Amino acid sequence: MKPFAYLRASDVDAAVAEAAAEPGAAFVAGATELANWMKDGIQSPTHVVDINALPLSEIIMHADGLRLGALARMSDVAARPDVRQACPVLSEALELGASAQIRNVGTIGGNLLQRTRCPYFRHTPFPCNKRIPGAGCAALSGEHRWHAIFGASDQCIAVHPSDLAVALFALDAIIHTRGPGGERAIPIDKLYLAPAGTPDRETVLEHGELIVGVVIPAAPFAARSHYLKVRERESYEFALVSVATCIELAGPDDRVRAARVVLGGVAYKPWRALAAEHALLDKPLTAETIAGAGAAAIREAEPLRDNAFKVPLAERAVVRALTTLGGRP
Amino acid sequence: MATTTDTSTNAHAPGVTWLTLRINRREYRFQVDPRVTLLDALRENLGLTGTKKGCDRGECGACTVLIDGRRVNACLTFAVMQQDREITTIEGLARGNQLHPVQAAFIEHDAFQCGYCTPGQIMSTVALLEEGHTGSADEIREWMSGNICRCGAYPNIVAAIQQIAEQPTP
C-alpha cells in the first residue's frame, strides 16, 4: 500500500475543499471498499479524507419523502420500522447486501459508489480496462458467467454490485452532492456512466464532489414493493440477478397504475426494464400479465458466451417478484 | 495540505503517527503508520492477538470486533480512523476468570474445531444477541453469514447461539 496523508474533516465544505485541492485524494466513510482496493494496489490515494465526523447521518421520513444522509449506515436504515413500512424494497435490498459487519459501517453514499467489478479487476496480473484504460478486457474471452447481459461494451462487461442502487432506481431516488462547483441534485438513473468511453470512471461525479444525501420522493407505489435477490449461495454473496419492483394498483378492479421493474446484477448499472413496466400498465396483476412482463424484461438481453443462463433467470425472477407483490391467478 | 481541523488529532502526514485507541476499557497510546488496519494494530502493535486475521478482505469475519457495541471487520478499517471509539475484542469479554456467557456456551456446545474463526464467531454472536436476530436457526444462519468456519462447526455454533438466546438475561 502506498503512503497517504490522513485527514479527518470537520465539516462538508472543508471535506470538499481538502479533496478538491489534491488530485490524488479520496473520501473515506465505511472504508469497507476502499481499504481492499488500497491493499490490492487497485487504488492508491495520496490523501484520505475521513468524512465520518460530518453531520450526514440523518434518516428522516417527511410527508413528501424519505431523506437519507450519505453517512446513514446500511444497518440503521434497514432497521427503521417507518422505512420498512414505507418502502419495503429498500429495507430488503439493504439487508440482502454484504454481511452484518459490513452493513454496520457501510454507508448509503459509499454503497452507491461501489465500483463495478469482476474477478479480473481484482487480480492485477490480468489486463483490465478499468484498472488501466487501454490494457484490454480479460473477461471478454475469459470466465464471464457472472457478467453483463445488458449494456456491455468491448471495454468492460462487469456488473454493478450494489443492491441498494437497484432499489433506489425503482424508487426514483435523487442523489444530492456538494462539490467544488457547488450543489447538484442527480436523478439516480443519471449517476452511472456507460463503460464504453471511460471504463475506469463509473459515475458522473467530479473529483472532490461528495454525496451528501439521498432523497426518495413519496410515491404511492413505494409501499407495495419488493426486492428479490438470486445468488449462488444463500447469503453474503453478490446477485447473479436481482429484481426491485414497485407496483401501484388502483380502481375497482385493481389495475396497475404505476410500475417499476429494475434488474440488478445484469449491467454496469441497475437496468430498468421499461418494456416490462409498460406491459403491466392498466392491466390487472395476473399470472398472464406477469408472464408478459417477465418476457418483456429480457427481450433485449445480449448474453455472452457463458452467461445465457442469466436471461431466463432474470425473466423468472421478475415473475416471482411481481407474484410476491400480489399477483392473482 | 491545508486543513481547517486541529492538526494535532485530525491530520496525520504519511509516516508514523501517534494514536490513542480505547480498547477493552483501557487506553493505548502508540505510534503507527496510517496504513495500518485496526486488525494489524491490535495484533502487531498492541499484542492483542485474540482477534484473528483470515482473509484480510472482510470476507471471513475472523477479525470481528465491536466498535461502540457494533460488530465490524477490523481488517476493513484503518486504526487511525478509530480514535474516540470504544473497541471491544475477544480479550475484553471475560471478567477475570468468569467467561462471558457466549464463550461458555461455545465451550458447552463444542462450537468449534480448530478454533481459528472462534473469536470472530463469538464477537459476532455477542452483537447478534443485542440485535435480536435469533428467532430461528435460519435467521441465525443468515445474520451470522459474515463469519465463515472452514471446519464446518456451524450446527454447533447455531446450537450455542440458540441456547443463549433462550436464556433469561442475567
A99 touches chain B (CB under 8 A): yes
Cα angle A102-B38-A239, degrees, rounded to a multiple of 5? 20
Q: Write out pLDDT tens, residues B105-147.
A: 999 999 999 999 999 999 999 999 999 999 999 999 999 999 9
Alpha-carbon torsion (A61, A106, B148, B89), positive or negative: negative
Q: Are residues A250 and A301 in the same domain?
A: yes
Q: What is the pLDDT of residue A41?
A: 94
Quick check: A19 and A26 in contact, CB under 8 A? yes
Q: How many CB atoms neighbour CB B111 within 10 A? A: 25
Q: Are residues A64 and A167 in the same domain?
A: yes
Class of domain B101-166: mainly alpha
Mean pLDDT of A45-71: 97
Q: Is A256 in a helix, a strand, or coil?
A: strand
Cα angle A76-A79-A82, degrees, rounded to a multiple of 5? 110
Q: Write out pLDDT tens, residues B26-75.
A: 999 999 999 999 999 999 999 999 999 999 999 999 999 999 999 999 99
Q: Are residues A238 and A176 in the same domain?
A: yes
Q: Are residues A95 and A50 in the same domain?
A: no
Residue B18 CA to residue B34 CA, distance in Å, equals 10
Q: Are residues A50 and A133 in the same domain?
A: no
Q: What is the pLDDT of residue B5?
A: 39
Quick check: A210 and A178 in contact, CB under 8 A? yes
| CB-CB under 8 Å, A36 with B58 | yes
B121 touches chain A (CB under 8 A): no
User: Is 60 exceeded by the pLDDT of residue A224?
Assistant: yes
Q: Write out pLDDT tens, residues A272-301.
A: 999 999 999 999 999 999 999 999 999 999
Question: Domain end: A54, A80, A97, which one?
Answer: A54
User: Is 50 exceeded by the pLDDT of residue B2?
Assistant: no
B11 touches chain A (CB under 8 A): yes
Confidence band for B11, pLDDT divided at 50, 70 and 90: confident
Average pLDDT, chain A: 97
Q: Are residues A14 and A96 in the same domain?
A: no
**Residues of the domain holding A17:** 1-54
Q: Can you give the CATH number for the domain in which A287 is found?
A: 3.30.465.10
| CB-CB under 8 Å, A236 with B76 | no
| CB-CB under 8 Å, B73 with A101 | yes
A12 touches chain B (CB under 8 A): no
- In B, minimum Cα distance to A24 occurs at B1
User: Is 70 exceeded by the pLDDT of residue A327?
Assistant: no
| CB-CB under 8 Å, A47 with B57 | no
Q: Which of A3, A38, A99 sits opposite B61 (nearest CB)?
A: A99
Confidence band for A16, pLDDT divided at 50, 70 and 90: very high
User: Is 50 exceeded by the pLDDT of residue B166?
Assistant: yes
Q: Are residues A268 and A289 in the same domain?
A: yes
For cell 489486463, the residue is A127
According to CATH, the superfamily of the domain at B7-92 is Beta-grasp domain (3.10.20.30)
Q: Is B71 in a helix, a strand, or coil?
A: strand
User: Is 90 exceeded by the pLDDT of residue B14?
Assistant: no
| CB-CB under 8 Å, A32 with B141 | no
Q: Are residues A21 and A154 in the same domain?
A: no
Q: Are residues A48 and A73 in the same domain?
A: no
Q: Are residues A225 and A293 in the same domain?
A: yes
A285 or B170, which is more confident: A285
Q: Which of B5, B13, B142 sits opposite A14 (nearest CB)?
A: B5
A219 Cα to chain B: minimum distance (Å): 30
Mean pLDDT of A92-107: 98
Q: Which three cell numbers stand for residue B112?
A: 468449534
Q: What is the pLDDT of residue A196?
A: 87
Q: What is the pLDDT of residue B170?
A: 54
The interface predicted TM-score of the complex, written ipTM, equals 0.96
Quick check: B100 and B155 in contact, CB under 8 A? no
Average pLDDT, chain B: 93
Single out the residue of B56, B46, B85, B91 nearest to residue B69, CA to CA. Answer: B85
A228 touches chain B (CB under 8 A): no
Q: Are strands A5-8 and A47-50 parallel, antiparallel or unpaired?
A: parallel
A221 Cα to chain B: minimum distance (Å): 29
Cβ under 8 Å to B: A residues 30-59: 30-32, 35-36, 38-39, 47-48, 50, 52
Residue A132 CA to residue A152 CA, distance in Å, equals 18
For cell 428522516, the residue is A60
φ/ψ of residue A166, rounded to 5: -65, -45
A197 Cα to chain B: minimum distance (Å): 30
Mean pLDDT of A136-157: 96
B127 touches chain A (CB under 8 A): yes
Q: How many domains does chain A have?
A: 2
A294 sits in which H/E element = helix A287-297
Residue A253 CA to residue A256 CA, distance in Å, equals 9
| CB-CB under 8 Å, B78 with A35 | yes
- B11 contact residues in A (CB cutoff 8 A): 5-8
User: Is 70 exceeded by the pLDDT of residue B9?
Assistant: no
